A = this chain, B = another copy of it.
Amino acid sequence: MTEIEADVLAANAEFYRAFSARDVAAMEAIWAVEAPVACTHPAWPVLRGRRDVLISWRGILENPEAPTVEVRDAVVHAAGDAAIVLCREIVNGSPLEATNVFVRERGAWRIAHHHASGVAPSARGARTTGGDTPSAFDQRN
Contacts and interface: CB of A to CB of B under 8 A. Distances in A.
Contacts of A49: 129
B140 A86 contact: no
Nearest to A40: B97
A6 interface: no
Identical subunits present: 2
Contact of A59 (B56, B94, B97, B137): B137
A9 interface: no
Interface in A94-125: 94-95, 97, 99, 101, 103, 112-113, 115-120, 123-124
Size range of the chain A interface in the assembly = 35 or more
B134 A59 contact: yes
Contacts of A93: none
Contact of A117 (B38, B43, B66): B43
A84 interface: yes
A17 interface: no
A26 interface: no
Interface of A: 35-36, 38, 40-49, 52, 55-56, 59-60, 63, 65-67, 75, 77, 79-82, 84, 86, 88, 91, 94-95, 97, 99, 101, 103, 112-113, 115-120, 123-124, 126, 128-134, 136-141
